[in-house]
Amino acid sequence: MSNYVFLGPPGAGKGTMGAMLCTAYGNIHVSTGDILRAELKAGSALGNQAKQCMEGGGLVSDDLVAALVRKRLSQTDIAASGFLLDGFPRTVPQAEVLATMLAEIGLSLDGVVLIEVAEDLLVKRLVGRRLCPTCGAIYNIFFAPPTHADRCDTCDVALTARKDDNLETVRNRLAVYWEQTAPLIGHYEAQRLLARVNGSGEKNANFSALQATLHL
Ligand code: AMP
């Protein structure tokens, strides 16, 4: 079983491609954004701690996120199925913690995939993103709108937008990516783990490119 990290700016499609890869090959999708949003929704102490950073588009502390990842990667299903880390690591210190953590658990990384997308497309993908609160379906008002404005095609409930998908927060998230996360590209290139995939196309074409890159 293989273990991957997906790297790329917000809106690159890490979640979408991650879900496709996990459905096809059985890896376990570990998204730190999803874990943090679940904590926020549950109103846990951890969620409250992360709330302000998340809503402003900044990063939650390395220690907090690393503890969540360590807990998930230590569970027995991970070694059996392989993992796909989506949204972690996001800083060089997080990558260093990950390397130590994996060595302690007895796992290793098989590849880091950088999903590359032009910046103007990223903004449209994020600002236009809408979610069905019932079934989780993802729409985009520019590229994949629902049949009836702002309602889920399947559930007929009103679609919602993520709180951090407004233009101001999106700009901040992109700035944070270039400042704090992009240095990971060189970090993993130096370890010969990095592979680049074009994520600008339609999702099935992007996924085929990913499969080819990873020789799947
Ligand atoms: P995402 O769903 O990956 O876009 O993450 C949503 C938000 O969760 C980010 O804007 C951060 O505030 C927080 N977050 C997710 N992953 C991390 C991480 N590895 N380090 C710090 N903050 C994170």
Q: Answer whether 109's CB lies under 8 Å from 5's CB.
A: yes
Whole-Å CA distances, 15 to 38, 49, 103: 15, 24, 26
**129 close to ligand 1 (CB < 6 Angstrom):** no
For residue 66, the CA-to-ligand 1 centroid distance in Å is 12
- Which residue from 67, 80, 10 is spatially nearest to 36, judged by alpha carbons? 67
pLDDT digits (tens, 9 = 90+) for 28-65: 999 999 999 999 999 999 999 999 999 999 999 999 99
Percent pLDDT > 70 in the chain is: 100
For residue 89, the CA-to-ligand 1 centroid distance in Å is 10
Lowest-confidence range among 39-48, 83-92, 184-193? 39-48
**9 close to ligand 1 (CB < 6 Angstrom):** no
For residue 146, the CA-to-ligand 1 centroid distance in Å is 27
Q: Which atom of ligand 1 is nearest to the CA of 86?
A: 3
pLDDT digits (tens, 9 = 90+) for 91-138: 999 999 999 999 999 999 999 999 999 999 999 999 999 999 999 999
**109 close to ligand 1 (CB < 6 Angstrom):** no
For residue 147, the CA-to-ligand 1 centroid distance in Å is 31
In the predicted model, what is the mean pLDDT of residues 139-144? 94
- Which residue from 22, 54, 21, 20 is spatially nearest to 35, judged by alpha carbons? 54
Q: How many CA atoms lie within 13 A of 179 on its CB side?
A: 9
What type of residue is 96?
E
Task: Please tell me the pTM assigned to this model.
Answer: 0.93
* Distance in angstroms (rounded) separating the CA atoms of residues 53 and 61: 9
In the predicted model, what is the mean pLDDT of residues 69-79? 94
Q: Which atom of ligand 1 is nearest to the CA of 88?
A: 19
Domains delineated in the chain: 4-117+168-214 (3.40.50.300)
pLDDT at residue number 1:
82
151 part of the active site: no
